[in-house]
Chains A and B, each alone.
Chain A
Amino acid sequence: MRWVIGPLLTVLVATFLVALALDIAPGDPVAALAGNHPSPAHLAAIRHELGLDQSFLARYWSWLTGVLHGDLGRSISLRSGVGGAISARLPTTAFLVVYAGLLILVFGIGLGIIGGWFRRLSPAIAALTGLAIAIPAFVAAIVLVQVFALNLELFPAIGAGSGFVDRIWHLTLPAIALALAMSAYLAQISRAAIAAERDREHVVAARGRGMSNGMVFRRHVLRNAALPIITVSGVVVAGTISAAVVVESAFGIDGLGSLLVTSVSAKDYPVVQAIALILVLSFVLVTTAIDLLQRLLDPRIRETGRR
């Protein structure tokens, strides 16, 4: 039960803080809607329509009950339901995040295992990941566009594509840009975890008993190194959800992230609030899932309750 209430409470407090912060923000969304020289009656009518004549707590409550019924409110600048605008863009962002997440897990853990297990490759992998970790997603994006879209003309430079194959083709460069630094970080953690386990006494003893290399790796090294690798995998994959904002803008992809940026610029707070809810919710979901997985895998955490 603690695993449901705790995260839910966190999300609830987070949405309350977002709503409160947006409420005290200077600037009036009504003035932008009303056009030139609006009459006071017209302004009051718009305020009433948007619910701005109610108190903050009343508005937060009606927003919250609306969300629980699947209604995310009305966008001010799009003049349509927030839910519709978001559901049109959510699949693109989800596709990008899942694609990048897979790349991160495969390359991050893969390179980490190679660097940690094969001593000779370790320095090369350390140098490679040390460089890759310092490349921000938006810098990776412009370099990838220059090389693979403009010079080699292998992939498109902008857009998200339609249909599964076309989408993979369009989102490959964005996913690589998103995954680059994060998979390097995961590779560093995995490499350190595996290198630390490799030199422990029980591993040396297992080798001494004549156990094959592969068996030692699977039974004695990977199992013990799995915990930090899983923890960091979760942190990193959860981080991609918000980092996608930058990559979407860099590649002109019409996803949740680019909608968030335009909504912030346009002071379209219902949209900002809804996207913040989705991002925080998915972030908390992933981190909670990782916590649960850790307890399942490690009896020490299960019994003492804390790492």
Chain B
Amino acid sequence: MTELALRLPRAGASGIGRAIRALREADKLLLVSAFVCGLIVLIAIIGPWIAPHSANEGEVLSANLEPSGAHPFGTDSLGRDILSRVLVGARLSLIGPALVILACTVLGTTLAIGSAWFGGSVDKTVARVLDVLFAFPALLFAILAVAVLGEGFWAPVAALSIAYTPYMARIVRSLAVRERNLPYVEACRLSGFSAWRICAAHLLPNVWPIILAQATIGFGGALVDLAAISFLGLGVQPPSNEWGLMVADGRTALLNGWPQEALAAGAMIVITVVAFNVLGERLAAREEP
């Protein structure tokens, strides 16, 4: 109760004054990067509705136009509006990495907390399996998955989910081992709580902010890797709209003197990755005293 009392505003401080003070003390980089990330996610959701032109149909006569009022980023070699393709492509470009990060976070956290909790042979077995996975660079793993499962959206996503798991598991395991030896875990155990309840309701919430920060940083990496697979022609196939695919498309146009498509898609990738990296790093910094 005393904690609650301390948080109450001092008498006389107006709402606006408090808001200004809070803003001044806040981590501005965190706010800016969170805003940019939110904006990009919003584009991924509403992109198809705000696109000024069709992303898939173009006029051959208006191919490779320079940026203008009607086409702010110009048009590609098939006369499609590049701005529209970038906006529509956000969805496919972001869903892939989001799925990868979701899967590897769930998988890695479960493995890590499990092996930290049980220790001994469980810990050793998990570590051995992860060591073999570490021998595959993520990109190679994704390419091999495409060789087995065929080109498309799912093979690289599934492969990267597995390839990223060891990295997540290694971070979470070291956190979980530290938590496990803290007195509160012993206290819970003495109170007769089940292992499941201690891990899920007490241990996990304590390490969760750091997991979230790592997942945010990992999102940028997954986006780059998936876009690279599409760039190689092994991921999503045309006529899908995806930024990596657009860079590959635009590469040919660029060599012929029309760089706008490749540069627009490339810039979107870089902006997105910077925003998520900075957000993740600021989130991680909040956890350190």
Do A10 and B148 touch across chains, with their CB atoms under 8 A apart?
no
Given the complex of chains A and B, what is the CA–CA distance between A219 and B210 in angstroms?
Answer: 35
- Given A265-B234, A267-B147: A139 and B270 interface contact (C-beta under 8 Å): yes
- Which of B149, B220, B255, B269 sits near A25, CB closer than 8 Å? B149
Q: Does B131 contact A (CB under 8 A)?
A: yes
Residues of B within 8 A of A24 (CB): 148
Give Cα A189–Cα B131 distance, bound, in whole angstroms: 23
A249 to B146, CA, bound (A): 17
Task: Check: A11 CB closer than 8 A to any chain B CB.
Answer: yes
CB distance from B115 to the nearest CB of A (A): 15
Q: Say yes or no: A261-B266 contact (C-beta < 8 A), given A21-B148, A134-B274.
A: no
CA–CA, A288 and B18, complex, Å: 55
Nearest B-chain residue to A263, judged by Cβ = B147
Known: A21-B144, A134-B273, A269-B147. A246 touches B137 (CB 8 A): no
With A11-B135, A14-B136, A283-B135 known as contacts, the answer to whether A136 contacts B147 (CB < 8 A) is no
Chain B residue contacts of A10, Cβ below 8 A: 131-132, 135
Interface window among A58-66, A77-85, A101-109, A140-148: A140-148
Q: B-side interface residues toward A, CB under 8 Å?
A: 131-132, 134-140, 143-151, 220, 224, 227-228, 231-234, 244, 247-248, 250-251, 254-255, 257, 259, 262-263, 266, 269-270, 273-274, 277-278
- Given A139-B269, A276-B140; A145-B277 close (CB under 8 Å): no
CB < 8 Å neighbour of B143 from A133, A157, A264: A264
Q: How many residues of A contact B (CB 8 A)?
A: 51
Q: What CA separation (Å) do A89 and B220 show in the bound complex?
A: 32
A249 close to B147 (CB less than 8 A):
no
Interface pairs A-B: 10 shortest CB-CB: A242-B137, A134-B273, A139-B266, A25-B148, A134-B274, A136-B224, A264-B147, A242-B140, A142-B262, A138-B231
Inter-chain contact B274/A130, CB cutoff 8 Å: yes
Q: Is the CB of B233 within 8 A of A261?
A: yes
- What is the interface of chain A, defined by CB distance below 8 A to chain B? 10-11, 13-14, 17-18, 21-22, 24-27, 130-131, 133-139, 142-143, 145-146, 150, 157-158, 238-239, 241-243, 245-246, 249-250, 260-261, 263-265, 267, 269, 272, 276, 279-280, 283-284, 287
What residue in chain A is nearest B250 (Cβ atoms)? Answer: A142
- B137 near A239 with CB under 8 A, answer yes
**Which residues from chain A contact B131 at a C-beta distance below 8 Å?**
10
- Bound complex: CA of A17 vs CA of B220, how far in Å? 28
* A134 and B231 form a contact (CB under 8 A): no
Closest to A243 in B: B139
CA distance A157 to B234 in the complex (A): 23
A261 pairs with B273, CB closer than 8 A = no
Determine which residue in B145, B146, B234, B262 has the highest number of CB atoms from chain A within 10 A of its CB, and name it.
B262
In the complex, the answer to whether A272 meets B147 with C-beta atoms within 8 Å is: yes
Task: Return chain A residues, CB-CB under 8 Å to B262.
Answer: 142, 146
Closest to A267 in B: B147
Contacts of A264 in B (CB 8 A): 143-144, 146-147, 234
17 more CB-based (< 8 A) A-B contacts, given A250-B231, A250-B251, A264-B143: A22-B144, A25-B149, A134-B220, A134-B274, A137-B228, A138-B231, A138-B244, A139-B247, A139-B270, A143-B263, A158-B255, A238-B137, A245-B139, A246-B232, A249-B231, A265-B151, A276-B140
Q: Is the CB of B250 within 8 A of A245?
A: no
Assess the B255–A14 pair: CB atoms within 8 A: no
Picked from B143, B149, B244, the residue with its CB within 8 Å of the CB of A245 is B143
Distance of A84 from chain B, by nearest CB (Å): 21
- Beyond A136-B224, A246-B139, A280-B136, whether A142 also contacts B144 by CB under 8 A is no
Q: B266 CB to closest chain A CB, in angstroms?
A: 4
A261 touches B135 (CB 8 A): no
Q: Is the CB of A135 within 8 A of B270?
A: yes
A-B pairs with beta carbons under 8 Å apart, 25 shown: A10-B131, A11-B135, A13-B132, A14-B135, A21-B145, A22-B144, A22-B148, A130-B277, A131-B274, A134-B220, A136-B227, A138-B228, A138-B244, A139-B247, A142-B263, A145-B254, A157-B255, A239-B137, A245-B232, A246-B139, A246-B232, A250-B251, A263-B147, A264-B147, A280-B140
